[in-house]
Amino acid sequence: MKKSGTILAVILLVLSASRTAWAVPQIDISVGSTDSPAELVTGLKILALLTILALAPAILMTLTSFTRIVIILSFLRTAIGTQNAPPNQVMIGLSLFLTFFIMAPVGEKINDTALIPYKEGQLNDEQALEAAMAPMREFMLQYTREKDLMLFYEVSELPLPKTAEEVAFRALVPAFIISELKTAFEMGFMLFIPFIVLDIAIASMLMSMGMIMLPPALISLPLKLMLFVVVDGWNLIISSIVKSFSGGG
């Protein structure tokens, strides 16, 4: 008890010394009245930026390749039969880095056509936003099925676009998401086929040997892992995912 009290006193002493040694900056966010339209516009810009930051995880998951990647990797883990291997943190981390790799060309286009001209004062806010949305629209249109896009145009009764630039973003986003879901489920189905064949073969073999009480998963799981390692499964899966984003989905 005495020892813990001494440790606590030392910690408090260090904290008090560090507080006097370094000046801690004070951050103050307040809302007040103003008569200047410029200050009002600046405040609205900050509010819009904070809103975008709050929605950043949803934007990352829905407007990029993340959805397809994470669903395919989840199907892979289910097909092999491992419950928590690889763990969710590893799956999501791999999906994020693959997303950054696939979306890098789009990010470079946004940087060259929107961010750099905006910093140099060549574009205003609206022009920079339009320039930034153009590469994203091009990417999403490339992997959106026409049938899915027409669905939301029919529901919303919007006039049909004549060019890609006229495609409404509010119809393109949900159409892109369901197109990605369909593509991910198709690729996930193809992943299940070899593992299902192996499961059926193991179950049939155990039935023929009269080993009914032995769970087939107990035998098939190590065999599926061995098969996945022998064929270099991770290389094949990641290669297939990346190539699916280079051939128009």
Write the pLDDT tens digit of every residue in 145-163. Answer: 989 988 988 888 888 888 8
State residue 186's pLDDT score.
Answer: 92
Of 167, 156, 237, 165, which is closest to residue 195 (Cα–Cα)? Answer: 237
Instruction: Give the residue with greater pLDDT, 224 vs 38.
Output: 224
CA distance 118 to 116: 5
pLDDT in tens, 209-225: 777 777 777 777 888 88
Task: Check pLDDT > 50 for residue 21.
Answer: no
Phi, psi of 113 (to 5 degrees): -95, -20
Quote the pLDDT of residue 175: 92
- Mean pLDDT within 119-139: 83
Side chain identity at residue 173, one-letter code: V
The length of the chain, given as a count of residues: 249
Listed ranges 51-60, 116-125, 188-197; the one with the highest mean pLDDT:
188-197
Tokens linked to 20: 């006097």
User: What is the rounded CA–CA span in Å between residue 221 and residue 91?
Assistant: 20
Q: Is the pTM of this model over 0.85?
A: no
Greater confidence (164 vs 176) lies with: 176
Q: What is the mean pLDDT of residues 70-80?
A: 90
Check residue 69 and give its pLDDT: 92
SS3 breakdown of the chain: % helix, strand, coil, rounded to 5? 75, 0, 25
174: preceding bond cis by omega (within 30 degrees): no
